[in-house]
Structure 1
Amino acid sequence: MSDDLAARLREQGLRLTPQRQLILRAVEELAHATPDEVLAHVRSQVSSVNASTVYRTLEVLEELGLVRHTHLSDRAPTYHSTREHEHVHAVCRRCQAVTSYDPGLVAPVVERLAADGFTVDVGHLAIFGVCGDCARAESAPPPT
């Protein structure tokens, strides 16, 4: 992680700072995290990092192609590492669980749109619904 980060920063004339390293590591460890969740994770290690540093760093990391964002709620964007394989996000509207699926799941839709000249950003795709656990809990008979 650090070597890739350092190389990409140098290419842009930027420095490798401890904050940038911590923030990228936090995104990788959290898998899917909002800037506030990244901030809380980083602050558990170094209390001196502020919110604006996290937001600016996430923007830089995204420009460098080291993280991506998607919208998994109506809140802030959620970031994940590009080291993960590209994936589609399924988000439960009840429990907010996020499950990652292989992009092949939506291949017919992607191919149909591509036939019309539209290129889909699969990693940005989020499908909302109700997960199996929540659906089963909802349909279970009430306890006696």
Structure 2
Amino acid sequence: MTVPDELADRLRGSGYRLTPQRQLILRAVEDLGHATVDEVLAKVRTQASAVNASTVYRTLEVLEELGLVRHTHLSDRAPTYHSAREPEHFHLVCRNCQQVRSVEPDVATALVETLHAEHGFAVDLGHLAIFGTCVNCELESS
């Protein structure tokens, strides 16, 4: 199980070694899609039981600093990480069933343009999570 070459090159190009732990953590984030530190840790420990939570936290910070992963807050829990190799997206989170749906950025074009034009604000959609109720939960409550 190897990390794609361009990601390994980016680590090395920034003065970081591609350690087995970094490789496992990056692969876990990519495999899990959207995952908290605890979920990444659980996945990594299935392959390397010696990895601890502080290693995962530090590694995710480095990987985010290098632009290899991103995080967002999809609940009141810890941040959720996903690979920066995924296309940019924002998230819809159902408060009832906790379903998370990734949405392409063009859906928010009008909002992004309005915020920029009227408020001089450039939106980072990768950190955006919109909370509400999904259609399934809405139908159940009717």
User: Which TM-score applies when normalising by structure 2?
Assistant: 0.94
In the other structure, the counterpart of 1:80 is 82
Bigger shift: 60-69 or 42-51? 42-51
In the other structure, the counterpart of 1:138 is 141
In the other structure, the counterpart of 1:142 is none
CA RMSD in angstroms, aligned pairs only:
1.0
* Partner of residue 17 from structure 2, selected from 12, 15, 18: 15
Q: Deviations over 1:6-37 (max 9, x none)?
A: 21121221111111011001101111000011
* Partner of residue 5 from structure 1, selected from 4, 7, 14: 7
Between the aligned residues of both structures, percent identity stands at: 71
**d(CA) in 1 for partners of 2:46, 2:20:** 14
Q: CA deviation at 1:44?
A: 1.4
In the other structure, the counterpart of 1:128 is 131
Q: CA deviation at 1:5?
A: 2.4
SS at 1:14 equivalent: coil
**d(CA) in 1 for partners of 2:61, 2:4:** 17
Please tell me whether Structure 1 or Structure 2 has the larger radius of gyration of its CA atoms.
1
| Structure 1 stretches lacking a partner, 5+ long | 140-144
Amino acid at match of 1:16: L
Q: Deviations over 1:62-103 (max 9, x none)?
A: 011000000101110000001111011000111111001111
In the other structure, the counterpart of 1:51 is 53
**d(CA) in 1 for partners of 2:14, 2:88:** 25
4+ residue stretches of structure 1 with deviation over 3 A?
Answer: none
CA contact (8 A) 1:5 1:16 kept: no
**d(CA) in 2 for partners of 1:3, 1:98:** 30
In the other structure, the counterpart of 2:96 is 94
Q: Deviations over 1:107-128 (max 9, x none)?
A: 1110011113210001111000
SS at 1:39 equivalent: helix
**d(CA) in 1 for partners of 2:6, 2:97:** 35
**d(CA) in 2 for partners of 1:53, 1:113:** 38
Amino acid at match of 1:69: H
Amino acid at match of 1:100: S
